[in-house]
Amino acid sequence: MKYSIGVDMGGTNTDMGLVTENGNIVQRRNIPTNAYTELEPYVRDMMREIESMVDGQSAIDGMAVQLEGIGIGAPNGNFYTGCVDNAPNLTIKGNLNFAKEIHRYRDVPVVLSNDANAAAYGEYVYGGARGMRHFIMFTLGTGVGSGIVVDGKLVHGSTGAAGELGHNILVPHGRRCSCGREGCLETYTSARGIVQTYCELAHVEPSPEITSKHIGELAHQGDPVALKTWETVADQLGLAMANSVTFSAPEAIFLMGGPAQVGEPLLKPLRAAFDKYLLNIYQGTCQIRMSELRANEVAILGAAALLKMKEQ
């Protein structure tokens, strides 16, 4: 049977999965990314876990696993070079050439991209964007990422770094961003940005118990400041989404990530803001939809999906 490997390389953990043609994860493993400072031992241990999944599944199937390849979603992952370039949140530093290192162990295709691109492609291959030629994925989390599909292909751009809509400047001279500039979408609609908005509206100091999840629970209990927070976030995200439509006129914009799990307190005002800010010629042509992939599967499925690009 044919399978592919999806690797979700996060700053803390690396999750790996053996994925069927239909997008079922039948084996999972993980290793602690932050226990490594060098690529060589990291890939050695990663490959040991991958071979263990392959062997385990071969035993279950009663026949050898045919491995289509290894797809990797990683911070700063570059599709063109197959490298991770100096990702600030990784303990493994430098220019990391994954394909070269992996090929010491197994001669299979290796495809790599950043995590938001991988998530978008996972939605395209296994999720709600199947059959769509044009869509955009926004991922809300510690940061705000995006992946853009135009004419059925992930947009990588001239450098491989296309699709950073979280760093669209939404508010000139607005909040200070980790990128060094001001007013990026990410400073308003990331988990941290949402917390900041809540604290400003509630006139309280940030504290560890105030998280975007907590603000979501408060909203479901009817807390007016929490509801106002989500309306504010929705207005900002709705404007950014409406602006992104002027670029590629997508059929849908997908949303995923922890803060998006709050549901209606965000989604209802988000759809209203999107309609309000959308240019008339696009009215009725683009839906806002939640990702159809499970939160604990999307990263692995997205990484595995990257291998399907080879077939295009």
> Cβ of residue 97: shortest distance to a second copy, in angstroms?
19
Pairing of strands 95-97, 83-85: antiparallel
Q: Is 312 in the site for a second copy (CB under 8 A)?
A: no
Give just the sign of the alpha carbon dihedral 280, 281, 285, 291. negative
Give 214 or 247: the residue with its C-beta nearer to a second copy: 247
What span, in angstroms and rounded, lies between the C-alpha atoms of 93 and 95? 7
Closest CA to 144 of 89, 78, 174, 189: 189
What span, in angstroms and rounded, lies between the C-alpha atoms of 82 and 207? 39
What span, in angstroms and rounded, lies between the C-alpha atoms of 94 and 86? 5
In the range 248-287, which residues lie near a second copy by CB under 8 A? 248-251, 277, 279-282, 285-286
> Cβ of residue 255: shortest distance to a second copy, in angstroms?
17
Which range in 13-21, 52-60, 146-154, 221-229 contacts a second copy by CB under 8 A?
146-154
Among the listed residues 155, 201, 267, 309, the single contact to a second copy using CB under 8 A: 155
Which range in 48-56, 175-183, 202-210, 293-301 contacts a second copy by CB under 8 A?
175-183
What span, in angstroms and rounded, lies between the C-alpha atoms of 18 and 297? 11
In the range 186-225, which residues lie near a second copy by CB under 8 A? none
> Cβ of residue 253: shortest distance to a second copy, in angstroms?
12
Among the listed residues 29, 167, 289, 308, the single contact to a second copy using CB under 8 A: 167
Give 122 or 250: the residue with its C-beta nearer to a second copy: 250
> Cβ of residue 175: shortest distance to a second copy, in angstroms?
15
Give 53 or 288: the residue with its C-beta nearer to a second copy: 288
What span, in angstroms and rounded, lies between the C-alpha atoms of 46 and 274? 42
Asked if 109 and 99 touch (Cβ cutoff 8 Å), the reply is no
Asked if 118 and 293 touch (Cβ cutoff 8 Å), the reply is no
Task: Look at residue 282 and give its three-state secondary structure.
Answer: helix
Element (H, E) at 58: helix 39-61
Asked if 68 and 294 touch (Cβ cutoff 8 Å), the reply is no
> Cβ of residue 273: shortest distance to a second copy, in angstroms?
11
Which range in 18-26, 95-103, 145-153, 217-225 contacts a second copy by CB under 8 A?
145-153
Give 62 or 88: the residue with its C-beta nearer to a second copy: 88
Site size toward a second copy, by CB under 8 A: 43
Residues composing the chain: 312
Asked if 141 and 115 touch (Cβ cutoff 8 Å), the reply is no
In the complex, the residues that contact a second copy under the rule CB under 8 A are: 132-134, 148, 150-151, 153, 155-165, 167-169, 171-172, 179-181, 239, 242-244, 246-251, 277, 279-282, 285-286
